[in-house]
Amino acid sequence: MKFQDEPTIFRELFGDTPKVRVLEYLLEGRELDHSIGDIAEGAGINRVTLFRLWNQIEKSKLVAHTRNIGNAKLFKLNMKNPYVKSLAELFDKIISEEFKKESVENELKH
């Protein structure tokens, strides 16, 4: 999943910060596990910036280590964390509402 630099409703609501971008990327790909490099690229941030945030993200148990491939550690959004579950539900609701809104706007245009 490559980063798209167009504004999203999630970033409009919560701010366009590196941490919000990381959360958005992980929420979108929550079924998959990701390397640090993939997360940085997918979130559209520098790896150094991600490394600065990573200890806090791990300490908050927002992600869980899933496996290693060679030297790369892979992580996945920690859906066992009740805060992450709530955030995922909110994310899905926001995306769903935005999709409905865009559908109605498109219907009105035609």
Distance CA 17, CA 74 (A): 23
Tokens 């996945």 sit at which residue? 76
Task: Kindly report, residue by residue over 50-78, the tens digit of the pLDDT.
Answer: 999 999 999 999 999 999 999 999 999 99
Two structure tokens written together for 48: 């150094």
pTM, two decimal places: 0.86
Task: Supply angle C-alpha 99, 103, 107, rounded to 5.
Answer: 175
Domain 9-109 has CATH 1.10.10.10: yes
Task: Kindly report, residue by residue over 10-62, the tens digit of the pLDDT.
Answer: 999 999 999 999 999 999 999 999 999 999 999 999 999 999 999 999 999 99
Q: What is the pLDDT at residue 7?
A: 83
Chain-centroid distance of CA 68 in Å reads 21
Q: What is the pLDDT at residue 106?
A: 72
Question: Looking at per-residue confidence, does 57 or 106 come out higher?
Answer: 57
For 48-84, give one letter per residue: b (16+ CB within 10 A) or e.
Answer: eebeebbeebeeeebbbeeeeeeeeebbbbbeebeeb
Any long-range contacts for 95-104 (C-beta under 8 Å, 24+ apart)?
95/9, 95/10, 98/9
